Chain A
Amino acid sequence: DAGVIQSPRHEVTEMGQEVTLRCKPISGHNSLFWYRQTMMRGLELLIYFNNNVPIDDSGMPEDRFSAKMPNASFSTLKIQPSEPRDSAVYFCASRSSFYGYTFGSGTRLTVV
């Protein structure tokens, strides 16, 4: 089991550019979560999917953020246009049951 796989591990981009973060959940896990972590705000849930369907996107900060899950093995989080305040570590997590969220290694995003 390769775990939750995120790419890229690090991303540095200029303000105004589009950024796409990618996640491959653990096979068989039917829920997928996108979190953002900053020193000031800690770990915040942005959006989550059950069986590829977005259930709750109330944590998405604004319309510049969008997420998709076209199939059970792939999800993207897109920021367009990016801003310096979007700089954070973005984690993807998946789970198969009531128990056990497994986190990916995260993508460290820096917007300059």
Chain B
Amino acid sequence: QKEVEQNSGPLSVPEGAIASLNCTYSDRGSQSFFWYRQYSGKSPELIMSIYSNGDKEDGRFTAQLNKASQYVSLLIRDSQPSDSATYLCAVLGAQKLVFGQGTRLTINP
């Protein structure tokens, strides 16, 4: 079992809709969780972090964490074409950040 798993997609969402990205992790002791966005040919860019169960909102982005289910999600409201990218879930364990394979998201105008 991979440490961090994501559906690789591609995920296509119409402009203005909600995009939902999901991630599961295997280390039950993990305490810190991150979402990175990576445009094609660019480096990963941190967009959200979450440490406690529940929701955390930042603008159009909402991160959700459920430690009992070992599940992290990212919601993007009012999706824009500029949100088209690969979204990487990352989990901090033993001082190192472990990434999922990423979900490729396409927002269709």
Contacts and interface: CB of A to CB of B under 8 A. Distances in A.
A binds B: yes
Interface of A: 31, 33, 35, 42-43, 45, 48, 50, 55-56, 91, 93, 98-106
Interface stretch (B13-21, B54-62, B72-80, B90-98): B90-98
B95 A55 contact: yes
Given A42-B102, A98-B32, A91 B43 contact: yes
Nearest to A35: B99
Contacts of B96: 33, 45, 48, 56
11 contacts: A42-B88, A42-B99, A42-B100, A42-B102, A48-B95, A91-B44, A93-B97, A101-B46, A101-B97, A103-B45, A106-B43
B22 interface: no
B46 A100 contact: yes
Nearest to B86: A42
A105 B18 CA distance: 30
B49 interface: yes
Contacts of B95: 31, 48, 50, 55-56
Nearest to B88: A43
Is chain B's interface secondary structure helix, strand, loop, or mixed overall?
A: strand
Contacts of A105: 42-43
B101 interface: yes
A27 B46 CA distance: 19
A105 B32 CA distance: 24
Nearest to A101: B97
A96 to B, nearest CB: 13
B53 to A, nearest CB: 18
A104 B43 contact: yes
Contacts of A102: 46
A35 B101 CA distance: 13
Given A45-B96, A103-B43, 6 more contacts: A33-B97, A99-B32, A99-B49, A102-B46, A104-B43, A105-B42
Closest 3 CB pairs of A and B: A103-B43, A43-B99, A42-B101
A101 B32 CA distance: 12
